């Protein structure tokens, strides 16, 4: 899509660093330079204000990635694109079937009401819970990683959604300040919320998390 729009050598494309490296790689393959902007702390998608701050005379486009079942503020981003003459591209996630979506939301509501010691996601309008991502508050140690290991030891399948932001990777290393991205990479943890989970398995997730939550600083 970038090539079809004429984006190439000498152009800059604003992208998120919180997520998969493929977006930055696609910009490079088109011959352009990826420029990393910070994310919104609630949606984990590009923050329109951060995108605008990253715009230069060479900026040709921005690639917006919808994350974890939450959508970016695409209205503001398109308005920004029109104001600066930028192409705004979207990369979405595969939509779950309606029945599965309803079950994911039901399980997310169960976790929202019972989890303690972690910060639950802000559901917001239209959240599809492709991943149920909590924040494990840090207090000077890599608490999230220790928390994840302890959960797995208790039989809970959890995963770190973004292990290393793209701007930290050797091939894309940039000296740029992305404090929200950095914090999200250090604190986020995806808990199971699949439609196939039984009530007993959901109870195990809650019990394991709450048993560990007292080891952490309050989430708020």
Tens digits of per-residue pLDDT, 159-178? 999 999 999 999 999 889 99
DSSP strands (E only) in 57-102:
59-65, 87-91
Question: What pTM, to 2 d.p., does this model score?
Answer: 0.90
Tens digits of per-residue pLDDT, 25-80? 999 999 999 999 999 999 999 999 999 999 999 999 999 999 999 999 999 999 99
User: Which tokens belong to 140?
Assistant: 């000077």
Answer yes or no: are the C-beta atoms of 160 and 151 closer than 8 Å. Answer: no
Rounded (5°) CA angle 215-216-219: 145
Tens digits of per-residue pLDDT, 90-126? 988 767 777 888 999 999 999 999 998 789 999 877 8
Rounded (5°) CA angle 143-169-66: 75
Nearest to 135 by CA among 71, 190, 201: 190
């Amino acid at each position: 899509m970038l090539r079809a729009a004429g984006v190439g050598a000498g152009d800059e494309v604003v992208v998120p660093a919180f997520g998969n490296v493929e977006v930055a790689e696609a910009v490079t393959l088109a011959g352009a330079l990826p420029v990393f902007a910070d994310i919104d702390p609630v949606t984990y998608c590009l923050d329109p204000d951060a995108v605008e701050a990253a715009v230069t005379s060479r900026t040709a486009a921005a690639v917006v990635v919808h994350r974890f079942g939450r959508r970016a503020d695409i209205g503001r981003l398109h308005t920004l694109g029109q104001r600066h003459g930028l192409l705004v591209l979207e990369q979405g996630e595969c939509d779950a079937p309606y029945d599965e979506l309803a079950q994911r939301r039901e399980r997310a509501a169960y976790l929202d009401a019972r989890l303690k010691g972690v910060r639950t996601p802000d559901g917001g309008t239209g959240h599809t819970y492709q991943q149920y991502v909590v924040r494990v508050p840090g207090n000077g140690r890599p608490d999230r990683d220790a928390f994840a290991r302890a959960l797995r030891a208790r039989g809970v399948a959890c995963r770190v959604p973004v292990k290393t932001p793209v701007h930290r990777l050797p091939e894309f290393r940039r000296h740029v300040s992305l404090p929200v991205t950095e914090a999200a990479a250090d604190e986020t943890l995806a808990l199971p919320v699949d439609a196939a989970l039984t009530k007993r398995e959901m109870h195990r997730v809650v019990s394991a998390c709450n048993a560990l939550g007292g080891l952490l600083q309050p989430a708020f």
